[in-house]
Amino acid sequence: MSRQQAIQQLKTYVSQHIIGQTMLVDRLLIALLADGHLLVEGAPGLAKTRAIKVLSEGIEANFHRIQFTPDLLPADLTGTEIYRPQDGTFKFQQGPLFHNLILADEINRAPAKVQSALLEAMAERQITVGSQTYKLPDLFLVMATQNPIEQEGTYPLPEAQLDRFLMHVFIDYPDATAEKEILSLARNEARNDLREQARPASTISQADLFTARKEVLDIHMADNLEEYLLQLTLATRNPAVYGNDLANWIEYGASPRASIALDRCARAHAWLAGRDFVAPEDIQTMAHDVMRHRIILSFEAEAEGITTDRFIHELIARIAVP
């Protein structure tokens, strides 16, 4: 079985248990293949926690969920030095960040010190306790969630930390047909413990996953498409080229990390589709999730009700496709 077939089987397995959230499943797999982190925003009860937990069942990886609260401390994530009275020494006790797949649930409920500890782990793949630095696993993915409903008692994520997320994904309620399937699945699980019976017959090894990441990097992107990708990012910094109205909407454009992220995500999207080359639709499909959290709108745009998605949509419409 090829690695693409194995990943497709994993996608099928996750989709059997996460109904009505096809985009979330796709973006999780793309984040896994592009070696990045995911910020997911959606109302409670939309299977965000369940999605990454089910994903972990299909790969050779361990999973840990962290509930972020206002009283959380950095040591609750990183771990801490434990005193051993029998020999008068300190031993480092690893925290939950030393797992492969991390769910940072309601990340915006934790204060800045906790968020900065997570930022180091996401950006540097390491954590620092005192004067010691500890390396995190090679396979390390953080999926953070935000609840858009309750904003009281929350700490907005700083732009520097938002930029560390490969993608910012919005998810919505399932439609009536999907919700009917969810009801049926929930009844079957409660009656027969279906989840335990339906675990995947085999899991994807970390070695195969790392090889798949190399295959994603080898996906061909034509020079004119690479130029198109760069034009999308550069246009967020100098939108006046494509219209004075766009120039009035933007305070700050996307950083070079946006170009890197869009390149990786477009290649992963093409690889998942079974192609060995990137097409314009791969770039356009991923542009919103990659850029929406990296653009800061002007006060005038926010006053007019303009969103970052609207701005990105206008850019895609106005920049010529090669």
Q: Indicate the class that CATH gives domain 18-197.
A: alpha beta
- Which parts of the chain have pLDDT scores under 70? 1, 150-153, 193-201
CA atoms within 13 A on the CB side of 50: 16
For the stretch 227-244, pLDDT in tens is 999 999 999 999 999 988
pLDDT value of position 36: 95
How far is C-alpha 255 from the geometric centre of its chain's CA atoms? 17
The residues, any chain, with a CB within 8 Å of residue 274's CB and separated by 6 or more, are 4
Q: Note whether 41 and 145 are within 8 A (CB).
A: yes
Residue 290: count other Cβ atoms within 10 Å of its Cβ: 29
Q: Note whether 220 and 297 are within 8 A (CB).
A: no
Q: What is the largest CA-CA distance in the chain?
A: 71
Q: Identify residue 171 by its one-letter amino acid code.
A: I
Nearest-angstrom CA–CA distance, 284 and 66: 33
Q: Which residue pairs from 229-232 have beta carbons closer than 8 angstroms and sit at least 24 positions apart in sequence?
A: 229/259, 229/262, 229/263, 229/266, 229/283, 230/259, 231/319, 232/262, 232/283, 232/287, 232/291, 232/315, 232/316, 232/319
Q: And the tokens for 166?
A: 């490969």
Q: Global pTM? A: 0.92
Nearest-angstrom CA–CA distance, 264 and 235: 19
pLDDT value of position 307: 94
pLDDT value of position 201: 66
Domain 219-318 has CATH 2.30.30.90: no
From-to residues of CATH 3.40.50.300 in the chain: 18-197
pLDDT value of position 115: 85
pLDDT value of position 104: 94
The residues, any chain, with a CB within 8 Å of residue 104's CB and separated by 6 or more, are 66, 68, 118, 142, 143, 144, 145
Between the CA of residue 88 and those of 93, 94, 122, 140, what are the distances in Å?
16, 19, 33, 34
pLDDT value of position 84: 84
From-to residues of CATH 1.10.8.80 in the chain: 219-318
Q: Identify residue 280 by its one-letter amino acid code.
A: P
For the stretch 168-193, pLDDT in tens is 999 999 999 999 999 988 888 777 75
For every residue of 52-97, DSSP letters joined together read HHHHHHTBT--EEEEE--TT--THHHHEEEEEETTTTEEEEEE-GG
Phi, psi of 297 (to 5 degrees): -80, 155
